[in-house]
Structure 1
């Protein structure tokens, strides 16, 4: 690697921190181990060399290498790794959202009508927030998960609606609670004509975007009222470490069977999909969940951070 390329590589890293993570030049200097003046020059160099536009056009070489290795190890057709060295979770999530939006745009910008199935979660919503607005009324956004909690309230993270607003496309809501009260109740919801129409449309999706949730007392499913304290306890005792649209996954990557499956109304997912299923997740808190999902082959696309990618590869070896 030439000296000039290394300089641009460092400038790109500084640009990620400054323009995406909102770091000050002093904070950048501390992370990169340079003086504040050097950090200021790196940010200026990124701007002068056209590295910073709507997105950062110069990839960080280490992150590019990690994404290639991660894709090969876990059979991913889409893989993006963002810088994360020395940064806290909020900054990492901001970077994942920006990089994830670029991935989403590759599908959303296409003129050919697309069916995009969309999951749930804060990371997914943050990613969609970073997308540019498009005029693609020919696209369809289909919800994979019911947004109704047991008390009748709806989640604030109705992600597919946000996607439809960004693309100006049609929005197909899954008309059911995430978990029905009983098997009989589930059958009532799932046999409704509109429910069947939406699930049929989701099965035809050209691309699927999902979040990966960890399973603990602070996970969104619990804090948003979709599962109770007792249910969290039971799932953890059964070895659940990850969740995708209500499907619970163990550390070995296999689906963990529970009585809650009888009440789950989400779109059914299967490992080793033949169409793009892309997840957006990173940070140390979600590492075990991401590892389980990749081990089980539940997704074939991932946008994550370099510390997570490095650890995934190290433990895989």
Structure 2
């Protein structure tokens, strides 16, 4: 066993004693034969290395009420709200990821083969990262969006592949750049046999998981080199506040036409989906985008944070019947 493995093994022992057995750091130090400070560092290492996964079984009453109100107002079949008062953005996103993974597990930890359609984004990747390793080789993970930028590079956040690795399932990549060079090239990409096979499979998905992107110079599409600063400016001037799977959404929740549509190769998405479409997003920066997507009825499920939920409910919105889905 290497030195690193021995350290992680000792950290895992410390985590078992601290989180499961309820031992104090002083008691852990005595058992492991280390100082109290060393025991404290081992417990911290276990958390930082992803050795510890937390499950809070008692719901926070206020968050439960918010989730129920959001579901009623926006016609969601499933909604989760995590506490966020006083939380920094890193902590908030981690909490959304943990809650999101618990919800994901309800859909994918099944013996029956599932087709899982997956979008993109850091929040979605973080959520999948919180999933335990599953032995579900019968599942299929299908990409909804091309991961190739105009310069030929690929995003580091290949979310569908990460989902396939977590489930041990097959991975069906969308074989195209997110935006083709021109409309003619788009036709060539989209008429390829493999492209049509993958998009047909995506249309049959049992559940779809997506992220919600805001539209500004810090948005993932711009940061990862898929669109230029000039294109961001044109999109915001046209009223775009949100992006889902490469589709641009205005404040009212409707698609905003743009020149980029003629080059977009991602899978088509629909309003009022008849199968679960669940997004994971929160925080002040993403609030306008989350609201737009909810206004448009693009989702059946949402995992977000307490402060975002309060802001969403503070402004009158559509009150619609719940969309089909599973709790």
Q: TM-score, normalised by structure 2?
A: 0.80
Alignment of 1:84 onto 2:87: no
Structure 1 spans left out of the alignment, 5+ residues = 1-18, 20-51
Q: Alpha-carbon deviation of 1:316? A: 2.2
Matching of residues 25-44 of structure 1 within 5 Å: none
Equivalent residue number for residue 287 of structure 1: 287
CA distance in 2, matches of 1:53, 1:126: 13
Q: Give yes or no for contact 2:53–2:130 (8 Å, CA) kept in 1.
A: no
Matching of residues 207-286 of structure 1 within 5 Å: 207-286=207-286
Q: Alpha-carbon deviation of 1:53? A: 7.4
Equivalent residue number for residue 93 of structure 1: 93
Query: Tell me, what secondary structure is at the counterpart of 1:241?
Result: strand
Per-residue CA deviations over 1:141-160 (Å, capped at 9, x if unaligned) read 00000000000000000000
**Runs of 4+ deviating beyond 2 Å:** none
Equivalent residue number for residue 131 of structure 1: 131
Q: Alpha-carbon deviation of 1:54? A: 3.9
Q: Alpha-carbon deviation of 1:230? A: 1.1
Equivalent residue number for residue 206 of structure 1: 206
Per-residue CA deviations over 1:38-95 (Å, capped at 9, x if unaligned) read xxxxxxxxxxxxxx97411111000001001100110001100000011111111000
Query: Tell me, what secondary structure is at the counterpart of 1:304?
Result: strand
Query: Tell me, what secondary structure is at the counterpart of 2:248?
Result: strand
Q: Alpha-carbon deviation of 1:270? A: 1.0
Inter-CA distance 255–53: structure 2 relative to 1 (3 Å threshold): closer
Query: Tell me, what secondary structure is at the counterpart of 2:179?
Result: coil
Task: State the Cα RMSD in Å.
Answer: 1.2
Equivalent residue number for residue 7 of structure 1: none
CA distance in 2, matches of 1:105, 1:151: 36
CA distance in 2, matches of 1:108, 1:55: 18
Q: Alpha-carbon deviation of 1:261? A: 0.4
Alignment of 1:296 onto 2:303: no
Query: Tell me, what secondary structure is at the counterpart of 1:261?
Result: helix
Instruction: Determine which structure has more spread, i.e. the larger CA radius of gyration.
Output: 2
CA distance in 1, matches of 2:55, 2:114: 24
Q: Give yes or no for contact 2:121–2:157 (8 Å, CA) kept in 1.
A: yes
Equivalent residue number for residue 37 of structure 1: none
CA distance in 2, matches of 1:228, 1:53: 39
CA distance in 1, matches of 2:90, 2:75: 28
Matching of residues 15-94 of structure 1 within 5 Å: 54-94=54-94
CA distance in 1, matches of 2:224, 2:135: 33
User: Aligned pair count?
Assistant: 267
CA distance in 2, matches of 1:110, 1:135: 10
Inter-CA distance 164–193: structure 2 relative to 1 (3 Å threshold): same
CA distance in 1, matches of 2:54, 2:248: 37
**Which is bigger in relative contact order (C-alpha 8 A, separation at least 6)?**
2
Inter-CA distance 54–209: structure 2 relative to 1 (3 Å threshold): same
Q: Give yes or no for contact 2:146–2:174 (8 Å, CA) kept in 1.
A: yes
Equivalent residue number for residue 174 of structure 2: 174
Query: Tell me, what secondary structure is at the counterpart of 2:297?
Result: coil
CA distance in 2, matches of 1:249, 1:58: 36
Equivalent residue number for residue 308 of structure 2: 308
Matching of residues 83-162 of structure 1 within 5 Å: 83-162=83-162
Query: Tell me, what secondary structure is at the counterpart of 1:93?
Result: helix
Structure 2 spans left out of the alignment, 5+ residues = 1-18, 20-51, 318-327
CA distance in 1, matches of 2:256, 2:89: 28
Equivalent residue number for residue 193 of structure 1: 193
